[in-house]
Each structure stands twice: as C-alpha cells, then as structure tokens.
Amino acid sequence: MKLQHARLEAPDRLHLLFSDPPGELSPGDIILAPSVSLHNVVLDGFEAVVTVEPVDLSRRHSVLVRGAGMVPLDIQPLLRALKSDLPLGCLVEDAYYVFRLFAPRAMRVRLHLFEHIEDDIGTQFFLSREENGIWQLSIDRSVNARYYAYSVEGSREPGEHFNSRILIGDPYARAVVTKNTFRHNGRCLLPDHIPAYDWEDDRHVSVDPADLVIYEMHVKDMTAHESSGVPTELAGSYRGLVHPDAKGGIAHLKRLGVNAVELLPSQHYAWIEPPYLHHAGGDIYNDWNPYERNHWGYMTSYFFAPEPRYATRGDQTPGHWNTAAPHHITEFRDMVKALHREGMAVIMDVVYNHTSQYDYQPLKYIDKFCYYRTTPDGHFLESSGCGNDLDSSMPMTRRMIVDSVLFWLEEFHIDGFRFDLAPIIDEDTFREIRERARAIYPDVILIAEPWGGGDYALDRFSDLHYGAWNDIFRNGVKGHEPRDGQGYIFGTWGNSVPEDFGKWMLGSPRDKGGPFRSAKHAVNYLESHDGYTLGDFIRIATGGARPGQRISDFDKHARLTEEQLRIAKLAAVMLLTARGTVMLHAGQEFARSKVIADSGVHDSMPGVIDHNSYEKDDETNWLNYGHREVNRQLFEYYRGLIALRRKFPLLRRAAISQYTFLEPATPVASGFTVRDAKGKQEMAVLVNPNRADAADYHLPAGGEWRVLVNGERAGTRTIGRFDGEQITVPPTQCMVLLRGDS
C-alpha cells in the first residue's frame, strides 16, 4: 500500500488516497507535519477521511502514513473553495476608509499610511482576519495621509514569495504612484485624493463587429515623434493623442476614417526591466534587453489603474517616484471622451494571463499559490513565456479579472477588450466576462488573441461568441515569412489552394472550412504590433531590403517602389472588402517601417529592420508622419477603401449565398461578385496578384459597371465606366466595380 495523494478539503478535514484499500488506520498511524493534532479517521475504499484541528494555511504541510510513505499536503482544494463577495480594495464607507485584501495564507497583514511619497515605513496598522481569506481594517477618513501600501507576512519556506520587508500596492487600487526602477515600488492613492469626473453626455460608442475598422496603436507612439505636430509638452501623452490641431493622433485617425482604436496595454504596467548585464538580486540577470525597457506594456502591475507614463505631469526620471497620480486618471478619461466625440470606440488590449516579472507585483507577494499556476514544488508555470501565469480558475483570481473588466467598462467608458494570449485564461472566466459585461453594455466588443500556452483556439472563442484574431487571413493573404513563406499578394498560393480565396473573403466561416460560427467573429488583419510591419514584409519579400541589412537612408528606404506600392494596395483591397472585422496596425496605411533608431544603446543594431520592437521607446516605434507624405498615395488609397466599406454594407453584410466567385484563366488571379438580396445592387472585387500576366474576368451580364477602385485610386466616386461582360485587370492590380443603386 502506498500513499498517493493528500488533499485538504476543509480547514479541519483532509482526504488521503492510497494505491490499495487500507485495512486498518488510526490517528496514531498518521503524522501531519508541522505538528497538527488528528482526531478521527474514517476509511472509504481507497480513501481515508481524517478529521484534524484547523490547519494553518500559512505553512506548508506534509502527511506521513506509517508503512505507506509521505506526500506534500495539497491545499488547492480548500483554496479553490474560498470565495468572498465583499468589495475589495480601499473603499469609502461613510466617515471611514475600509481596507480589504484577499490573502488566505497570510500570517499577518499590515497597512502602511504615508503623508509623503518619500516616507519609508509610514504609520502602521494591523488588519484583522475575517472569513474566506479576507483581511479587513476600518480607519477614520480624517487620517493625515495621502498614500497607502501593504506588507504581508507568511511562510518563508522555499518557493514562497512572502516578505514582510517589501511594501506592496493594493491589487485593487485605482491610482498608484510607482518608483522608476525595475522593482516598481508602489504607493496607492487614498480615494479622497482621486477627483470626481464629469463625463458630461458621454456614452459608449456602439459599432457592430461587421462594421468595425480597428486601429491598433500605442498611446505614446502616436504623437511622440516631432512630425506629429503635437506640442512638446504633450507629445506621447493621453492629452497629446487627442490634441486637435496636429498632424498626428486624433486628427490622423479622423482623416483615415477608422471607427475604433485599440490601445496597446494601458493598465499600469512595469515598464523598466533590470539593469543590462548586471546581477540584480537572486537569479535576476538581464542578458536579453539592452534597452532595459518594456515599452509595449505587456507586463501588468495593477489591473484597475491607468498607466501614468502617458500623463503630462509625471516624473520619469530614473529612481524618482512618478507622481502623475491622480492627473493620469482625468487625462485618460478626457482621451476616451474625445475619441467618443469623433465616433470612435475605444478598445483596450488587456493582459490577464500573466503579470509583470521582476517588480513587486502585489499578487506575487500576497499569495502566489492563490493567484498563480505553479508546479507542485512551488515554481511559477510560464506557458505565457513571461515567467508567471495567473490561474484564472481560482475563484478570487477570476473575480479580480471580471471586476477589472467591469471597472474599465463603467468607470472609464471603455467599449471593448482584446484579451492577450487568451487560451491561458479558462473558458468559465470568459463566459462570466461575456455575461456580466453585456448586462452592463450589450454591445461591448470582446476579442481574443486565440493562441497562447501551446493552444490554438479560434473555433472555441467563436463558440464563446468572442471575436478572434484571424491568422488564417493574415497567413494566406500576406504569408508567414517574407523570404520563404510568401502569400497570395505576391502572386503565389503558397501553402494555400484556390478554394481558400473564398474562405478568406467570406470571413473564414465554418461553411467554407473555416473556424468561425459567424464572419463577425473573424478579426481580419495583416499586421499587428509584433512581427514585421506589412510594409517591411513587402520590402523584404520584393528584395528591397534584407533582414540584418543596415539602412543608411531611412527616408529613401521608407518610400515604396512602384512594385511594392501595387502589392500594398492589393493587400489593402483584400482586407477592406472581406467580411468580418477589420484591424489595421498604426502606420500600416503608409507602409510604416520599423528601422532601429540610433539611441546610443549598447548592443543595439541601428539601421536594421526590427522584427520585435517591444523594448524600444524611441523612433523605432514612434510614428513618423513624414513617411505618410512619402507614401501619400497609399494613405489615400486606404482612406478611400475605408470610405467605400462604410458606404456599401453589401461588402461586409451579405450572406454567403449572395456571392459568386470568379476564377480567370490566369493562375492565382481571383475575384467575386456579390449581389444584394433584392438584386438592385451588385459589386465585383477583382484581384490579380500575378507579377507579369494580366487577367481577364467574365462578369455577369446586366448593364453598366462603374469603377470605384483601380490600381491608382480607391474611394466612393466613379473613376471609370465599363459596359460589357469581360474586363482585364493588369498585373499586380485590383478593381472594385459597382452596378445598380449607389
């Protein structure tokens, strides 16, 4: 007989599982260490139920059974049963501040109040342990303090993160002041110091998924470059993004015509990484990032607070406290309100699959076993690739994620969310998010990045009624690698077959062998924040640039050749005439190139095209609006196609039965016609990616066609007419035709 598993089902009850049914077993045969008194043993087949004195969760225990061996006590069943509906964080209740923290394995929790941000310890108070793992304290609001933090004491056994000497922020804090070091020390603002906000008549912006044209962007990158025309004191900020009298930011978005923006992570994140090539304590040794920055923001520290880097009054000096709070809250809300006034929905890219790695992220120091996925010996699991995966299946972790989504929906008027590495989060959490978010705002936009942790789940997210990034469209149309894995727009089927053209253009529905229940779930895109930009993909694929090549004349490099421009236009036409949601990445509309800037950073490679620029807060990532003028023809082409899509719902709302696909004799060339249900309007989209050969298309008879898009121009105005049943499309060009009602 061998003891196989021991689990704690209740504070005073554990279950033992054996390889064979134990014949006899008494409390004297069992040792629960550290010493815990045992009261009774009841045998039930292969199991034994043991009644004990309440187990101290702050310590790790092992179970020894005489003659059967020893195993660690698994406390996860009990932790999974702990749940509280009490409001968490720092609440205002009449004349009191009420502090509540979920820390079921803590031995002691202290509150630290600070009048000044530089105070080291502050005034200390002990919270009391309540039911279900909650610690609580009420103090009079007249207390002379502005900031607060916690320290948590617990087990010091190997693998634990408890450290009473480390002050941590409140995971439910609405505003946090952090120190500009990689440890990111946090002080939370007490609620009375966060000003009220007048939303005036602001409401959520409702856009049907079929109508969405999303612009994925980084707040700072939109206006940090001098070419944006934003005043220096506002450049790279929330306020700069919505500055009306500039080339960049909101003025650019309005001119382009998009109806939604997707902000790269803007919840408070750890943007400083450990010093390069220096041991920074423990096993922290940064040998991968000479920039010592995490510019994109996929390292969340606080899920309820906006990022202060983008506020105008913050101090980003190394070693200083960034005292932007609470101004950043007001400025974030002002940004949302300004975008709403221009009819743009605001989507947030949110990271709930893992937290920041090297800072004093509070969840790690409150209880890693309650919030994270760990190995049996207490190490973080890292299917996210970021060192620590949150365990969304734990009730209070799930509650925190859902609470965060609802908070941004209600308190910041956010219209939607894109969930990073979504398969790492469990499906029950996504169901609860969907149901509770839609109860508040029925038209909330919910989009998943449908891969992560070794899983790939476009179909599952469609079943959950979420949109999902459609890499089937991306990889088929563009390709997966610019030299050896080119896609359709380069005149090849690549890994695709002719039938795939219809799948792409119909929104990858299940009726055509795709993963989506509805085309509205397909978020079609060709470029996102990671990987090569579409412009650089095209430059490399056509031989205009090489990976690793140093580019000496950036402006010359940025200007597309005639061939590159034609290919970029093909891509734009396919993206903006396909069913499904459309997503553009910032700068795609003028073939933005990410060439590493010479920032004086050791071990950088200035002048080389960047494949992954996550760490660079410099001109590598900042949008250069001078290049919009260099490639003005492409920008106007995108602008015209967005207007075309907006004007003609037929391109995005027709049923599959209304489509007829065309296959000219010229290989690879493809196209389709789509006719409205009443037969009053018909459109034709003709795509010829062949480099050398023209393609002849046979169109249905029935009257004159008007040309709205050709190889030079795109829009809603007639630029030519055609009356016949055969039309020729030149090599590497597209056409969009209209017949009937306009």
At 399 the pLDDT is 98
Which residue in 629, 646, 528, 661 sits closest to 583, CA to CA?
528
Exposure string over 26-50, b if 16+ CB within 10 A, otherwise e: eeebbebeeebebeebeeeeebbeb
The reply to whether 655-740 shares the fold of 3-80 is yes
pLDDT, position 235 = 97
pLDDT for 681 equals 96
HEC string of 137-194 equals: EEEECCCCCCEEEEEEECCCCCCCCCCCCCCECCCCCCCEEEECCCCCCEEEECHHHC
**H/E segment holding residue 77:** helix 76-81
CA atoms within 13 A of residue 176's CA, in its CB half-sphere: 32
Q: Which CATH number fits domain 655-740: 2.60.120.10, 2.60.120.580, 3.40.50.1100, 2.60.40.1180?
A: 2.60.40.1180
3-state secondary structure 639-655: HHHHHHHHHCCHHHHCC
- Average pLDDT over every residue of 242-260: 97
Q: Whose CA is closest to 346, among 170, 214, 494?
A: 214
Query: C-alpha angle 691/697/699, rounded to 5°?
Result: 155
Contact assessment for residue 612 and residue 298, using Cβ atoms and an 8 Å cutoff: no
What does pLDDT average to over the chain? 95
Angle at 140 between CA 134 and CA 146, to 5 degrees: 90
Residue 38 has what pLDDT?
Answer: 87
Helix orientation angle between 395-411 and 427-440, rounded to the nearest 10 degrees = 30
Strands 581-585 and 213-217 turn out to be parallel
Q: What is the pLDDT of residue 11?
A: 87
With contact defined as beta carbons under 8 Å apart, do 422 and 428 qualify? no
Query: Average pLDDT, stretch 419-447?
Result: 98
Percent of the chain scoring above 90 in pLDDT: 86
For the stretch 54-74, pLDDT in tens is: 988 888 889 999 988 999 898
Running DSSP on this structure, what letter comes out for residue 226? Answer: G
262, two tokens: 């997707």
d(CA 461, CA 269): 27
Homologous superfamily of 3-80 in CATH? Rab geranylgeranyltransferase alpha-subunit, insert domain (2.60.40.1130)
Question: In the chain, what percentage of residues exceed pLDDT 70?
Answer: 100
Averaged over 88-99, what is the pLDDT? 97
Q: What is the predicted pLDDT for the residue at 475? A: 97
pLDDT number for residue 314: 85
Does residue 439 register a pLDDT over 90?
yes
Return the axis-axis angle of helices 395-411 and 362-371, rounded to nearest 10°: 130
- Residue 56 pLDDT: 86
- Residue 415 pLDDT more than 80? yes
DSSP string, 21-60: --S---GGGEEEETT--EEEEEEETTEEEEEESPP-TTS-
- Residues ≥6 apart with Cβ < 8 Å to 676: 650, 654, 658, 682, 740
For 275-304, write each residue's pLDDT tens digit. Answer: 999 998 888 999 999 999 999 999 999 999
Is residue 331 pLDDT above 80, yes or no? Answer: yes
Q: What is the per-residue pLDDT for 246?
A: 94
Length of the chain: 742
For 503-534, write each residue's pLDDT tens digit. Answer: 999 999 999 999 999 999 999 999 999 999 99
Backbone torsion region of residue 218, taken as left when φ is above 0, otherwise alpha when ψ lies between -120 and 50, otherwise beta:
beta
Residue 28: pLDDT band by 50, 70, 90 thresholds?
confident
Instruction: Return d(Cα 55, Cα 36) in angstroms, integer.
Output: 7
Per-residue pLDDT band at 44 (split at 50, 70, 90): confident
Instruction: Check whether 242 has a pLDDT greater than 80.
Output: yes
Using the predicted structure, report yes or no on whether residue 185 has a pLDDT greater than 80: yes
- Measured CA angle at 94 (ends 88, 100), to 5 deg: 20
Decide if pLDDT at 234 tops 90.
yes
| Ranges assigned E (strand) in 66-122 | 69-74, 89-93, 96-102, 108-114
pLDDT of residue 76: 87
The string of pLDDT tens digits covering residues 612-648 is: 999 999 999 999 999 999 999 999 999 999 999 999 9
Can you give the pLDDT at residue 132?
92
To the nearest 10 degrees (0 to 180), the angle between helices 562-577 and 534-541 is 130
Categorize the per-residue pLDDT at 198 as very low, low, confident or very high, splitting at 50, 70 and 90. very high
Rounded Cα distance between 142 and 139, Å, is: 9
What was the pLDDT predicted at 180?
Answer: 96
Residue-wise pLDDT tens digits, 584-599: 999 999 999 999 999 9
Angle, helices 632-647/562-577, rounded to nearest 10 degrees: 20
**Dihedral in degrees, nearest 10, Cα atoms 278, 612, 227, 632:** 170
pLDDT of the residue at 129: 95
Confidence of residue 736 (pLDDT cuts 50, 70, 90): very high
Other beta carbons within 10 Å of 91? 15
Nearest CA among 510, 658, 479 for reference residue 574: 479
- Asked if pLDDT for residue 262 goes beyond 90, the answer is yes
pLDDT score at 645: 98
Give ∠ CA 260-265-269 in degrees, rounded to 5.
155
Tokens of 411: 């308190």
Q: Place 494 in a pLDDT band, splitting at 50, 70 and 90.
A: very high
The answer, yes or no, to whether residue 23 has pLDDT greater than 90, is no
Nearest alpha carbon to residue 564 among 594, 584, 544: 544
- Asked if residue 536 lies in contact with residue 571, where contact means CB atoms within 8 angstroms, the answer is no
User: pLDDT tens-digit profile of 658-680?
Assistant: 999 999 999 999 999 999 998 89
Residue ranges per domain, the chain? 3-80, 655-740
